[in-house]
Every structure is written in structure tokens, then in C-alpha cells.
């Protein structure tokens, strides 16, 4: 086991056999440590749930906000193509601000919006990865506490504490 609890370390540092009072104190300390870990676990789980909800809401909101824009851009592009094709001919394009054609400007805007979506998705994935890390850390703490109880439980129970 890579990690020893504060209680086990304190018990190992004592000289000679442990009496009932020392074991009761060790048990009380272990229970306090357990309660502290449980509180930390609960807070981390709440934080995790909030991060999940926030990430989902953020991604859903971004997609919902961008969907109508994509539809409007596609409609505007189609409308512009229909209007400009007879006037300019099929191979010519109207030049807009910055030297970009209206078609290029719309495509640039679509690309920018797609980049924003990718950014929000990456943020969601990052939050989910942090969530998994917290979960694994909490599981590790639970397992260590369980191991400590298994290792020290028979000693404490054998003395009637």
C-alpha cells in the first residue's frame, strides 16, 4: 500500500503495546479522518455533478445558438448566389469588404463559428476528464481507508474497543 493514514502512522510511532485508551483514541482519530474524507468526497461529487451540468448546458446552449445562424447563413448564401449568378455570371463573384467575396465572407464566418463549437466541445471534454480524475482519486481514498480498516479493525475489535 502506497499511502498510510495519519492514524496508522501515529500508531506505528508509539512505543510498546497499545492499551485500550490508546486504541480508543486511534479509533476516534480514524473515524474523524473517515468523516473528513467522506466530507471531501461529498463535496467533490457535488462539484463533479455541477461541472457536468455546466458543461452539458454550455454545449447545448452553444449548439442551439449556432444552429439558427448556420441555417441563416446557408439561406443567405443560397439567396446571394441566386441573385448574383445572373448578374455576374457563373464564374464571377461580388467583392465585399476586405477584398473577400460575399461567398468567402460567409464561409469564413461559418469556419469561425465551427471553431467556436470546437472550443466549447474541448472545454466540455476537459471538464469531463477532470471529473474522471476526481472520481478516481476519491475511489483511491476510499480503497485506502477500507484497507486501513481491514488491517487495523481486528486489533481494535479484539480488545473490545
pTM, two decimals, is: 0.38
Host domain of residue 53: 6-158
Q: How far apart are CA 103 and CA 97, in angstroms?
A: 12
Q: Residue 137 falls within a domain, yes or no?
A: yes
- What mean pLDDT is predicted for residues 78-96? 65
**Is 5 in a helix, a strand, or coil?**
coil
Please tell me the predicted confidence (pLDDT) of residue 13: 60
Q: Residue 52 falls within a domain, yes or no?
A: yes
Cell of residue 83, nine digits: 441573385
**Is 95 in a helix, a strand, or coil?**
strand
- Per-residue pLDDT band for 147 (boundaries 50, 70, 90) equals confident
pLDDT tens, residue by residue, 34-84: 999 999 999 999 999 999 899 889 888 888 888 888 888 888 888 887 877
Q: Residue 1 falls within a domain, yes or no?
A: no
Give the lowest-confidence range in 60-69, 92-101, 148-157: 92-101
Please tell me the predicted confidence (pLDDT) of residue 50: 92
pLDDT exceeds 90 at position 133: yes
**8 A C-beta contact, residue 5 and residue 148:** yes
Q: How far apart are CA 108 and CA 49, in angstroms?
A: 36
- What mean pLDDT is predicted for residues 20-34? 90
Domain count, the chain: 1
Please tell me the predicted confidence (pLDDT) of residue 8: 59
Please tell me the predicted confidence (pLDDT) of residue 20: 86
Within 8 A by CB and 6+ apart from 79, the residues are: none
Q: Residue 56 falls within a domain, yes or no?
A: yes
Q: How far apart are CA 152 and CA 144, in angstroms?
A: 12
- Per-residue pLDDT band for 91 (boundaries 50, 70, 90) equals very low
Q: Residue 28 falls within a domain, yes or no?
A: yes
Residue 115, Cβ neighbours under 10 Å: how many?
A: 10
Cell of residue 46, nine digits: 457535488
Q: Residue 124 falls within a domain, yes or no?
A: yes
How far is it between the farthest Cα atoms of the chain?
Answer: 100
Give Cα 153 distance to the centre of its chain: 36
Q: Residue 111 falls within a domain, yes or no?
A: yes
Amino acid at each position: 500500500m502506497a499511502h498510510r493514514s495519519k492514524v496508522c502512522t501515529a500508531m506505528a510511532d508509539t512505543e510498546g503495546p497499545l492499551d485500550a485508551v490508546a486504541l480508543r483514541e486511534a479509533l476516534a482519530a480514524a473515524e474523524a479522518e473517515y468523516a473528513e474524507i467522506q466530507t471531501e468526497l461529498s463535496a467533490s461529487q457535488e462539484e463533479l455533478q455541477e461541472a457536468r451540468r455546466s458543461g452539458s448546458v454550455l454545449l447545448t446552449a452553444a449548439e442551439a445558438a449556432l444552429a439558427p445562424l448556420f441555417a441563416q447563413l446557408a439561406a443567405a448564401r443560397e439567396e446571394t448566389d441566386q441573385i448574383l449568378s445572373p448578374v455576374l455570371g457563373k464564374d464571377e463573384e461580388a467583392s465585399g469588404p476586405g477584398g473577400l467575396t460575399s461567398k468567402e465572407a460567409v464561409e469564413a464566418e461559418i469556419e469561425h463559428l465551427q471553431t467556436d463549437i470546437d472550443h466549447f466541445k474541448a472545454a466540455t471534454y476537459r471538464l469531463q476528464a477532470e471529473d474522471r480524475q476526481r472520481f478516481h482519486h476519491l475511489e483511491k481514498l476510499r480503497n485506502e481507508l477500507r484497507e486501513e480498516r481491514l488491517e487495523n479493525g481486528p486489533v481494535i475489535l479484539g480488545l473490545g474497543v
